[in-house]
Chain A
Amino acid sequence: KQEVTQIPAALSVPEGENLVLNCSFTDSAIYNLQWFRQDPGKGLTSLLLIQSSQREQTSGRLNASLDKSSGRSTLYIAASQPGDSATYLCAVNPGNTPLVFGKGTRLSVIA
């Protein structure tokens, strides 16, 4: 059974810092991996989708990497801003079953 772990559970950084959020999964047989952002009381917004054949995806200040063989993904946020404060969720798509989610990392960027 696929399990997804996100470390740390919570993170607080000063504005302007570059930061890395970590995601690990137990079964490397995945179709893709998706990073989401969730603001308090809101739904999930897709940030980046990495296919199993890809090593990384970039969108603005966000860069997500995927190392399928080691079961790891990282989300890199450059020059963090208070508006980046949210919970970031990692989810893997095993292909034969729907997305499996981690518990998320709650990020606070302090001005």
Chain B
Amino acid sequence: DAGVIQSPRHEVTEMGQEVTLRCKPISGHNSLFWYRQTMMRGLELLIYFNNNVPIDDSGMPEDRFSAKMPNASFSTLKIQPSEPRDSAVYFCASSLERVDGYTFGSGTRLTVV
């Protein structure tokens, strides 16, 4: 298995632009999680899906952030409009069930200038 695949690996964008991060979970995994990592706050959960349905999005910072999971093999995290404080590494993870071990992708390093 190729593991959890995220794209792009790096993204540099100007403030105000729309940014879309992509994630392909491990085939057969039912739960998908989006985390954000910064030096100051560590790893924070943004949103998670179970069987493609968003379960808890209370970690999404504000309305500028949205996430979708149109099918079991693909999810997106969108930021519109982006701001410099959104600069961070965004990780996607998946698990067979929510109570199983998680597998993380390599992350997307986002820089908003």
Query: Which A residues form the contact surface with B (CB < 8 A)?
Result: 31-32, 34, 36, 41-46, 49, 89, 91, 93, 95, 97-104
Instruction: Determine if A93 and B99 form an interchain contact, defined as CB atoms under 8 angstroms apart.
Output: yes
Instruction: Determine if A98 and B104 form an interchain contact, defined as CB atoms under 8 angstroms apart.
Output: no
Question: For the complex, would chain B's binding face be called helix, strand, loop or mixed by DSSP majority?
Answer: strand
Q: Does B56 contact A (CB under 8 A)?
A: yes
* Most-contacted residue by chain A among B98, B103, B105, B109 (CB, 10 A): B98
Instruction: Determine if A43 and B56 form an interchain contact, defined as CB atoms under 8 angstroms apart.
Output: no
Q: Which of B13-21, B41-49, B60-68, B75-83 lies at the interface with chain A?
A: B41-49
Bound CA–CA A103/B41 (angstroms): 8
Q: Which residues of chain A are within 8 angstroms of B42 by Cβ–Cβ distance?
A: 101-104
21 A/B residue pairs, CB under 8 Å, sorted by A:
A42-B106, A43-B104, A43-B105, A43-B107, A44-B91, A44-B93, A44-B104, A46-B101, A46-B102, A49-B101, A91-B102, A93-B99, A95-B98, A97-B56, A98-B33, A98-B48, A98-B56, A99-B33, A99-B93, A101-B42, A103-B42
Q: Given A43-B107, A44-B91: A99 and B99 within 8 A (CB)?
A: no
Q: How many A-B residue pairs have CB under 8 A?
A: 45
Instruction: Determine if B99 and A31 form an interchain contact, defined as CB atoms under 8 angstroms apart.
Output: yes
Query: Closest CB-CB distance, A23 to chain B, in whole Å?
Result: 13
Q: Given A98-B45, A101-B42, A104-B42: A34 and B102 within 8 A (CB)?
A: yes
Bound CA–CA A91/B103 (angstroms): 13
Bound CA–CA A101/B56 (angstroms): 17
Bound CA–CA A45/B103 (angstroms): 8
Q: Which residues of chain A are within 8 angstroms of B101 by Cβ–Cβ distance?
A: 32, 34, 46, 49
* Most-contacted residue by chain A among B42, B98, B101 (CB, 10 A): B101
Query: Closest CB-CB distance, B13 to chain A, in whole Å?
Result: 19
Instruction: Determine if A46 and B99 form an interchain contact, defined as CB atoms under 8 angstroms apart.
Output: no
Query: Closest CB-CB distance, B45 to chain A, in whole Å?
Result: 5
Closest B-chain residue to A4, C-beta based?
Answer: B42
